[in-house]
């Protein structure tokens, strides 16, 4: 399937958001995910299915001062 992640189209064969995050080694405690315009709760990453045409925005939290 083809999905868009942070503005880049990718081919992805897995089916859940967690599988995508694991593939790209994202730390779930340090990111926020928006799928098709809505925020996905962290506890739903493992069950949130991905479909062809989905648009994801993944934001990393960065500390600073």
Confidence of residue 64 (pLDDT cuts 50, 70, 90): confident
Q: Please give the model's pTM, rounded to 2 decimal places.
A: 0.88
**How many domains does one find in the chain?**
1
CA distances, 7 to each of 43, 47, 54, 57, 58 (Å): 24, 23, 11, 8, 10
Lookup: tokens for 57 = 């925005």
Cβ contacts of 37 within 8 Å, gap of 6 or more = 55
Which pLDDT band holds residue 65 (cuts at 50, 70, 90)?
A: low
Is residue 48 assigned to a domain? yes
Q: What CATH number does the domain containing 53 carry?
A: 3.10.20.30
Q: What is the pLDDT of residue 5?
A: 96
Residue ranges making up the domain that contains 55 = 2-60
> pLDDT tens digit string along 15-55?
899 999 999 999 999 999 999 999 999 999 999 999 999 99
Q: How many CA atoms lie within 13 A of 9 on its CB side?
A: 4
Question: Is 65 part of a structural domain of the chain?
Answer: no
């Amino acid at each position: 399937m083809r999905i868009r992640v942070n503005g880049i189209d990718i081919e992805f064969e897995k089916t859940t958001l967690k599988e995508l995050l694991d593939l790209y080694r994202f730390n779930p405690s340090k990111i926020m995910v928006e799928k098709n315009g809505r925020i996905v709760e962290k506890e739903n990453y493992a069950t949130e299915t991905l479909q062809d045409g989905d648009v994801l925005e993944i934001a990393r939290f960065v500390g600073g001062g």
